[in-house]
């Protein structure tokens, strides 16, 4: 699975870091222990099964906020435990989306109205104004 997901994940990360404003941060949260012992250790330290892959941090109206992206290859479904966690995060006020491509990430940035240097988003917003 990693061989299919990793290039998509990296492309989305590169897109976000290239188009979000200076000072905004994008962080990957690895959630794949290499052994059962490491998994127990990481869970004890706060790792959560199903946590979204990417977190976007930035200010809106002067207040720090966080948006989350779960990266999945095309055709791969989100397991029930992960959908449940995403629903819990949304209930807590966080934005969470599943993305399968850079185009999906672009749509999320636009839908969330995040500031972006992506000319395609800015052109679309200008056309609707």
Q: Over the stretch 80-102, which tens digit does the pLDDT of each residue have? A: 999 999 999 999 999 999 999 99
Can you give the pLDDT at residue 37?
78
pLDDT of 79 over the 90 cut:
yes
Q: Is 38 helix (H, G, I), strand (E, B) or coil?
A: helix
**Beta strands 63-71; 54-60: pairing state:** antiparallel
Q: What is the pTM of this model?
A: 0.85
Domains and CATH numbers, the chain: 2-128 (3.40.1350.10)
Name residue 95's beta-bridge partners: 67
Name residue 68's beta-bridge partners: 55, 96
**pLDDT tens-digit readout, 45-69:** 777 888 999 999 999 999 999 999 9
Cα–Cα distance between 95 and 45 in angstroms, integer?
Answer: 24
CA angle 23, 27, 123 (to 5 degrees): 60
Q: Is 23 helix (H, G, I), strand (E, B) or coil?
A: coil
**pLDDT tens-digit readout, 3-12:** 788 999 999 9
């Amino acid at each position: 699975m990693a061989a299919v997901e990793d290039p998509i994940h990296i492309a989305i990360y590169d897109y976000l870091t290239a188009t979000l404003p200076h000072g905004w941060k994008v962080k990957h949260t690895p959630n794949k222990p290499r052994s059962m012992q490491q998994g127990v250790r990481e869970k004890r330290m706060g790792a959560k099964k199903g946590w979204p892959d990417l977190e976007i941090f930035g200010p809106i109206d002067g207040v720090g906020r966080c948006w989350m992206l779960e990266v999945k290859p095309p055709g791969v479904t989100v397991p029930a435990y992960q959908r449940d966690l995403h629903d819990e995060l949304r209930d807590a006020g966080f934005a969470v989306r599943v993305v399968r491509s850079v185009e999906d990430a672009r749509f999320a940035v636009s839908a969330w109205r995040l500031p972006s240097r992506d000319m395609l988003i800015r052109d679309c917003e200008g056309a609707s104004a």
